[in-house]
Amino acid sequence: MKVLETERLRIRNFTIADAEYYMAYAAHPRVNCFVRDKVSTLEEAAARLEKRSGDDGYLAVCLKESDVVIGELFSHFEEPDTYGIGWSFNVKYEGKGYARESAEALLTYLFEERQARRLYAYVEDDNLRSQKLCEKLGMRQEGCFKEFISFTNNEDGTPKYENTYHYALLKREWLGQAAQRQR
């Protein structure tokens, strides 16, 4: 994939050299949906990134000046013209607008270069930061799936089911918002 650049960020494929930065947020997932991506050692992180290095569906979000990985974006293609999207960031870099800046670059890339017609994101009902980001990106909440999926267990060992919001955005809506932003 080509490198995407914003004012402060570079969005690129992962490399094995990113393992230490990746581990900084992947070792301690704060959102249940990332529990299955948890890594415990630098070797596990390097092995995961070796697989992801050739996968345009997982992209490293880096500070432009230092190339330090501060998070990731992901997108998964669904025939014929839809992508599921998401993100995960190191808590150390929250509150600075990096998630929004990088997600806007990804949306622009998917709509303009990959010819996506529709993008969607699943967000757990307790993940307020991601819900807010979806809204800032102009995505609309289309519904809530009650007890949709389980990533963890309750104290008694039974599955803990997550209520999950479904957000979406159409290309024509994104383009309309872009025209509004330029005014």
> pLDDT, tens digit, for every residue of 133-170?
999 999 999 999 999 888 888 899 999 899 999 999 99
The rounded distance, in Å, linking the Cα atoms of 64 and 81 is 30
Residue whose pair of structure tokens reads 């190339």 in the numeric block? 67
Model-level pTM?
Answer: 0.91
> pLDDT, tens digit, for every residue of 63-107?
999 999 999 999 999 999 999 999 999 999 999 999 999 999 999
Sign of the Cα pseudo-torsion (140, 142, 148, 149, in order): negative
DSSP state, 16?
G
Adjacent-strand bridge partners of 150: 161
Q: Give, in degrees to the nearest 5, the angle at Cα 55 between 172 and 103.
A: 40
Burial class (CB in 10 A: 0-12, 13-18, 19+), 37: middle
